[in-house]
Amino acid sequence: MGRAMIVGTAGHIDHGKSALVAALTGRAMDRLAEERRRGITIDLNFVPLELDGGRLAGVVDVPGHEDFIRTMVAGASGIDLALFVVAADEGIMPQTVEHLAVLEHLGVRAGIPVVTKADLVEADWLELVLAELSDRLALSPVAFGPPIAVSVRSGLGLEALRARLAAHAKTLAPRVGADLFRLPVDRAFSVAGVGTVVTGTAWSGRLAIGDAAQVFPSAAHGRVRSIQSHGRALRESEPGARTAFGLAGISLGDAPRGSWLVAADSPWRVTRVIDAEVGVEADADHPLVPRSRVRVHLGTAEVMARVQVRGAVGPGERQTVRLSLEQPVVARANDRFVLRSYSPVATIGGGRVLDPHPPRRRPLWPVGLNAERPAERLSALLDRRPEGLAAADLPILLGLPPSAAAAVAQADAGLRRVGERWVRDTSIRALGSAALAALKAFHRAHPAARGMPLETLRHRLHAGDPSVECAISDLAAAGRLRLDAGVAVVSGFVPRVEGGEIEMDRVVRIVEDAALSPPSLSELERLTGRRDIGAMLHLAARSGRIVAVERERYYAPAALERFAAALAELGRDRLIAPGTVRDRLGISRKYLIPLLEWADATGITERVGGGRRLRNA
């Protein structure tokens, strides 16, 4: 049967929008007492419309009164087709023009111009109004067909209008279901036995009964208890359809109009900064300049924002800007929005989200950020993020379903999936170059050290762990560095000490001569005057000339053999007491305890109570 089409009305106050919808659907639209009293629509009204062929449309009737234009913006978000209404007895009026601007900035693709109250004017006047409207709409990016004259009193044109609606419904492509669910909330209320109910047009994705849900910006968590669309109970919602969700665990105060309902396990998050391409209306009174305060209408939300722009965006011009929002929103690349002035309130422009979560540093505006091709936009997004993009964020940053966003990244031969991120090969290679440079500098500064500790190298590179590990692994695989027991070494590097083997022999002799009471590293530094004594001892230990018993103290193998022989003699037929070892060898407790622990660690002895016994006894 095809998906339900969402139809929205637009036009000046009292031009007959609500009456037109009532005539098409057979249902009165002004549901609020105040609306009935004042005779104008001040809030959003929704009603199903059955079309020929069994198709269903949801009609959104929006206000025309200037005081309630922001509500009209909320209703126009997410519609497939606009009924652009002009009364025959008044023609194009101020709010007619403003509503048209809203439709254009929100990216509404198609519309049907409808001239109402045709029975109130003479035929020649009606022809003039139809001609004027055709000429005006010919300049619009919205695909308007020829205008149609109707009268809700006589029924003139209503059947032809229904036929036009049905014909357009047949042209709609199905929305992608395998996408991240998001619904801007346009109404919220409580129902006994159900709880909080939120309604809106699902912009993308599906949500099913029992699914965990979340409302932003309150961040309230809950569960979907019930789903309805045009009076029908559903197990799962449909993208692009007018839908009501009964939510358990979420209070009414957590989900007002302007909120966003999303799946709880999705990567959606709020933002207070968006980078966008904006256009200013040709008849705007003032340009957008740095620090301009504006009203941003995105989805059903209205938030104040400050404009950051290079120079100014004059009337009739387009430019990339940064919008710093005073309240958070849930935005996605390619979302459309409307800009209205702070005071006096008027529609001054609109635009398209380019980067909903831009880096907070000074904006960089690479070529391709506002391109239509996703591959170009991905390249521009990566220009702004040398560290790469989280794979989970890609559908939001590109404005594509997850599978399509992943396909764009996979098709780029210059990208690699590193952990949970997409990173440019050039970034990995740059990290590798930085790693080699850091290692070479370390080898120059510490020629006796066997290599740089890996943790030190990771810290020097100032990048995410997966990217650093990837760069290091690439270098190791290419044979440009080697990894050895927690250190990294440039391939071909051989540790050396200043003074060569003569100096090494001198230091080893000091350790050998000290026998079982060798000096510590700091004492050796004072004895030798060398600052590289630690690295020198490491080198000597790797060649087996000395042994590290403590972190700061090394022993000659002959001294350790003497210590092991003493233990063997003392422990031949009894437990070894530390005091007997001390008395036999004449060493203080400072040396004795670490030596006994070394004997335990090397398997010579094992501890038993306060003493030790030989393992092989």
pLDDT digits (tens, 9 = 90+) for 572-609: 888 999 999 999 999 999 999 999 999 999 999 999 98
Residue range 280-295: mean pLDDT, rounded: 95
- Domain 182-263, CATH class in plain words: mainly beta
For the segment 93-122, the average pLDDT, to the nearest whole number, is 93
Structure tokens at 181: 């669910």
pLDDT for 484: 87
Give the whole-angstrom CA distance, residue 614 versus residue 617.
5
Q: SS in 3 state form for 12-56?
A: CCCCCHHHHHHHHHCCCCCCCHHHHHHCCCCCCEEEEEECHHHCE
Q: Is 162 helix (H, G, I), strand (E, B) or coil?
A: helix
- The residues, ordered by sequence, that sit 6+ positions from 354 with a Cβ below 8 Å of its Cβ are 274, 275, 276, 277, 320, 333, 369, 370, 377
DSSP character at residue 174? P
DSSP state of 67: G
Closest CA relative to residue 292, chosen from 320, 313, 273, 272 = 313
pLDDT higher than 90, residue 268: yes
- Residue 320 in 3-state DSSP? strand
Residue closest to 76 by CA, chosen among 207, 172, 200, 199: 200
CATH of domain 5-171: 3.40.50.300
Yes or no: say if 313 and 288 are a contact pair by the CB < 8 Å rule.
Answer: yes
Residue 62: what pLDDT? Answer: 64
Q: Check whether 64 has a pLDDT greater than 50.
A: no
Q: How far apart are CA 575 and CA 562, in angstroms?
A: 19
> Rounded CA gap, 113 and 11, in Å?
10
Q: Name beta bridge partners: 568.
A: none
Whole-number Å distance between alpha carbons of 74 and 257: 9
What sign does the CA torsion over 345, 78, 62, 224 have? Answer: negative
Partners of 201 in the β-ladder: 242
Distance of CA 152 to the CA centre of its chain: 49
pLDDT above 60 (res 76): no
pTM of the predicted structure, to 2 decimals:
0.78
Alpha-carbon distance 603 to 234, whole Å? 71
**CATH of the domain spanning 558-614:** 1.10.10.10
At 523-560, the pLDDT tens digits run: 999 999 888 888 888 888 988 999 999 999 999 999 99
- Domain range 426-490, CATH architecture: Orthogonal Bundle (1.10)
Does residue 43 carry a pLDDT above 60?
no
Percent of the chain surpassing pLDDT 70: 94
pLDDT at residue 362 tops 60: yes
Beta bridge partners of 260: 184, 216
User: Using CA atoms, how far apart are residues 412 and 410, in angstroms rounded to an integer?
Assistant: 5
Structural domain spans, the chain: 5-171, 182-263, 364-412, 426-490, 500-555, 558-614
CA quadruple 124, 96, 144, 45: dihedral sign: negative
**Tokens representing residue 465 in the block:** 């762990």
Q: What is the pLDDT of residue 240?
A: 85
Q: What's the confidence (pLDDT) of residue 39? A: 38
CA-closest candidate to residue 330, choices 219, 211, 208 = 219
pLDDT class of 70 with cuts at 50, 70, 90: low
Q: What is the mean pLDDT of residues 129-152?
A: 96
Q: First vs last Cα of the chain: how many Å apart? A: 88
pLDDT at 135 over 50: yes
Amino acid 457: pLDDT: 94
Q: How far is it, in rounded angstroms, from Cα 488 to Cα 348?
A: 59
- 500-555 maps to which CATH number? 1.10.10.10
Q: Could you tell me which residues come within 8 angstroms of residue 590 by beta carbon, excluding any fewer than 6 positions away?
A: none
Q: Which of 2-6, 147-151, 239-243 has the highest mean pLDDT?
A: 147-151
pLDDT in tens, 458-477: 999 987 788 999 999 999 99
- Same fold for the domain at 426-490 and the one at 500-555? yes
Which residues have C-beta within 8 Å of that of residue 162, sequence separation ≥ 6? 24, 51, 52
Q: What is the mean pLDDT of residues 2-13?
A: 82
